[in-house]
Amino acid sequence: MKTNLKKIIILAFWLTIWEIVSLIINREIYLPSPICTFKSLIGLLVESETYLILIASTYRTLLGIILSCIFGILLGFICGMNKFLYDIINPVVLVIRSTPIVSIIILAIIWLKSTYVPIFSSLLMCFPVIFTNISTGIKNTDKKLLEVCNIYNITGFNKIKSIYFHSIIPYIHSAIISTIGIAWKATSAAEVLSMPKYSIGTNLFYAKAYLEPQLLFAWTILIVVLSSIFEKTYVKVFKYDKTK
């Protein structure tokens, strides 16, 4: 109860700051007030097309996360076990991590259909996080446990299941939690540039083009809420404690 009250007070504080700054600027085109933004948000939520847009963007984001997990966990595990392969793959991962998201999106627009651009961009932005976490988890496996396996001749799949798998579980959870926010950012940015038919990013672009900042804020709030829902759902389903 106290925690919820604290959250409400914090939210009220920042809404008040937002309202004060908006009144000082006194130009809705620069910074719409919370009330104006809330009205636009309600207007979006009563339109049926909004939910098609949310579903489409959620699908792209979720698919990007799933693909990054598949490739990141698989390659991260293999490279964590084999230093030679890690030395080969890691430079590519570093290049991907250092490449600006805009460059990735533009290349994706050249290569792919508009609906696949956000998925590809989300995949590439999330993959390095997953790969690095998993390979680090494998390398940090307790050496004493590995010695016990050698003593009792535990090899192959049993060794992977008993030692390595349990060792990387916290790293998997941490990586996925980190990639949820990244995936939503990458997907939305890619949608702004590639403009698939049903997407939040396309509507962000239209809000900017038609000088409707209140709509831009409203769509942004929806992105933040969806990202938060993703994270809280994952934490609850897998009972992951982020404080550990």
Closest CA to 70 of 170, 223, 175: 175
Q: Which residue has the tokens 């006194």?
A: 26
Give the pLDDT band of residue 161 (cuts 50, 70, 90): low
* pLDDT, position 65: 93
Q: Which of 96-100, 151-155, 186-190, 210-214 has the lowest mean pLDDT?
A: 151-155
* pLDDT, position 236: 84
Q: Which residue has the tokens 């805009």?
A: 102
Closest CA to 120 of 98, 104, 99: 104
Tokens of residue 201, six digits: 């990013």
CB atoms within 10 A of CB 126: 28
User: Which of 30-34, 52-56, 137-141 shows the highest mean pLDDT?
Assistant: 52-56
d(CA 105, CA 144): 45
pTM: 0.84
- What tens digit of pLDDT does each residue of 110-142 get? 988 888 999 999 999 999 999 998 888 877 765
Could you give all domains of the chain from N- to C-terminal order, each with its CATH number? 36-237 (1.10.3720.10)
* pLDDT, position 34: 86
Give the pLDDT band of residue 151 (cuts 50, 70, 90): low
**Residue 146, pLDDT above cutoff 60:** no
* pLDDT, position 144: 62
CB atoms within 10 A of CB 78: 15
